[in-house]
A and B are shown apart, each in its own frame.
Chain A
Amino acid sequence: MKSSAGIIMKTALKERMRRKELYIIAALAILLLFLCSSDVTSITMNGEAVTGFKNMFWVMHALVHFVGCVLAVVLSLHTIPKEYERKNSHLVWVRNIRQEAYHGGLALANVCASLWAAGILYAALAVYAVAKGHGEVLLPMIPAFLILSLSISFVSLFVSVMSIKFPVMAAGIFGAAVMVFGVFHGMMELFKNMLGGLGGKCMSFFLFLVPDLNGIQNAAYRFATGEGIKVHLVFVMLFALWMVSLGLFVFRKKEA
């Protein structure tokens, strides 16, 4: 017997697959691929144009991660609120489906859709690597994507959980803030130190709460380029995902 969350997830995902989102993401991936392949690039490092494969691959890897996180926010923000707005929730609630199963199913659909979107972008990156004659990264890119997916999943799940309790605008702001703090974790640390005082203390607190998504991105990049990863980072992300998933039980709608 299938679980309610699984059924809800499957249907929500089926619905998304048939929408035009697919084309938008594919177009974005192609654009990214074009940018990667193009010799004309405005990305510079140490004052010189970044054209070498290793540098370019690193830049594009970080870009794919960032775009993936943005897409995760966009794809996850409206799903649950729209269910309630359209009263679709009525037909689920009357069937005695528990809220955590209902919201969990929708959140899982969000995570899957976000990973699918990130997967397309990552595939574009793989095509770029092959086109540049670096087919050796293809195989390690598969597990590297699994590592990267922890970060994308975190953003998606966090936004989904926030959207249960808070209005779309607030959930979007929270989600974007967590994404920015996570993706630019190191840079935020610099700002924290520049701020000092109460502002610095607040930032320290947020930096403690938000996992280092950029660390995960770096770990994925290192894995793809043949270096080892720190298991601790992976466990931190898995635990962070588990913590966020608690929100599915804690945050409840009073009415359908």
Chain B
Amino acid sequence: MKLFKIGYGLTGLILLICTVITGSYGLSKVNQEIYKKAISLETDMEKMGFPEFFLADYKVRFYNGDCDYVVKGEDIVKQDPLLDVFVGTTIEAEGEYQVLLPTYEKFSALFDLLDAAGTVSQGMSEGSMVFTQNTYNENAHAASIWHEAFHAWQASRWQDDIDALMRRVNLGEEESREDIIVREADADTKAAALFREEMEFLKKAYHEEGEEKKEYVLKALSLADNRRKILSDSANAMEFYLENLEGSARYVESLAYRILEGEKAWQNHYLGEFHYEEGSSKYYYMGMLKGLLLDQTAEGWQRKFSLAEGFDGLLKGVCQEE
């Protein structure tokens, strides 16, 4: 019995030691690597040309469910969590805009239960998620950092414009922007049909060259104008917000992913998702595609990009030039 007790106690002690030794403390290496990967894109992303947009300027908060690990450069600081998130976002803290996103482990672990709860499906239609559990990886997480960093960049430059834009939206207390889109834009069958048509023209434009490309773009933009005339000011403001602010962030994210994961994966996950469905996600892709069209037609457009005219204004300018 004595021997058993010693063996039993020893087993517990060994298991405890093994548990402690194999556990990860602080920000895991995986997340540190993800941050490094994201930062390593700085030079490539700078070439994009959004003025003074550097990831290194923004603190990145990794939320692990219990605390935030705030990373900037080589420094990692543990802090109390600011906000419970299961997808990335931008947050104002310490007098600046910061990137906040769940740790890779937390996000991966949540994927299956989000699937079970239908949240992935919901997240995809809202545009907040691009991947499913099987396709999400560390590169996708690094690309999300760029997406949120771009929102931080937008907020630091255009916060007043964004606020003015959102004031035009009839957002009830309990409502999300998803509700506005579903209620005020998707519900209008005529506007939805115009949107579908606009998408088709933009897709064609992306694959065409020269004058035909411009023609398709102009047709698409004219359909967009028609749609705006049908929709309420609230719906127009919401659409503008989603297409230009979220769409440009998706554009940035997709380029980061393209560099990290390669052309084929980029085409699968970003270009392949361009289709009409109810909810906000279509605007993310619409904005991204317009950004890609501007890449094809107007090098350096990023320097001119603003909320005053958005993607459509820039495209119209380029296509009507000659």
Contacts and interface: CB of A to CB of B under 8 A. Distances in A.
A contacts B directly (C-beta below 8 A) = yes
Interface of A: 45-47, 54-55, 58, 62, 184, 186-187, 189-190, 193, 212, 214-215, 218, 230-232, 235-236, 238-239, 242-243, 246
The 7 A-B residue pairs whose C-beta atoms are closest, nearest first, are: A193-B84, A232-B22, A186-B113, A239-B15, A46-B121, A235-B19, A235-B18
A214 B113 contact: yes
Q: Which of A54, A235, A238 has the most CB of B within 10 A?
A: A235
A190 B85 CA distance: 9
Interface of B: 11-12, 15-16, 18-19, 22-24, 65, 84, 86, 109-110, 112-113, 115-117, 120-121, 124, 132-134
A47 B118 CA distance: 8
25 contacts: A45-B115, A45-B132, A46-B121, A47-B121, A55-B134, A62-B112, A62-B116, A186-B109, A186-B112, A186-B113, A187-B117, A189-B65, A214-B109, A214-B112, A232-B23, A235-B15, A235-B19, A235-B22, A238-B15, A238-B19, A239-B12, A239-B18, A239-B19, A242-B15, A243-B12
A45 B121 contact: yes
Nearest to A46: B121
Given A214-B112, A238-B15, A46 B132 contact: yes
Nearest to A193: B84
B120 A218 contact: no
A189 B116 CA distance: 14
Contact of B11 (A214, A231, A236, A242): A242
A251 to B, nearest CB: 16
A219 B198 CA distance: 45
B120 A187 contact: no
Contact of A190 (B11, B18, B86, B121): B86
Contacts of B110: 186, 189-190
Q: Which of A54, A218, A231, A239 has the most CB of B within 10 A?
A: A239
A183 to B, nearest CB: 10
Q: Which of B11, B12, B113 has the most CB of A within 10 A?
A: B113
B84 A218 contact: no
A189 B24 CA distance: 19
A230 B110 CA distance: 17
Nearest to B121: A46
Given A231-B22, A232-B19, A232-B24, 16 more contacts: A45-B121, A46-B115, A46-B132, A55-B134, A62-B116, A184-B113, A189-B65, A193-B84, A214-B109, A214-B113, A215-B109, A232-B23, A235-B18, A238-B15, A242-B12, A242-B15
Contacts of B12: 239, 242-243, 246
Contact of B112 (A54, A218, A242, A243): A218
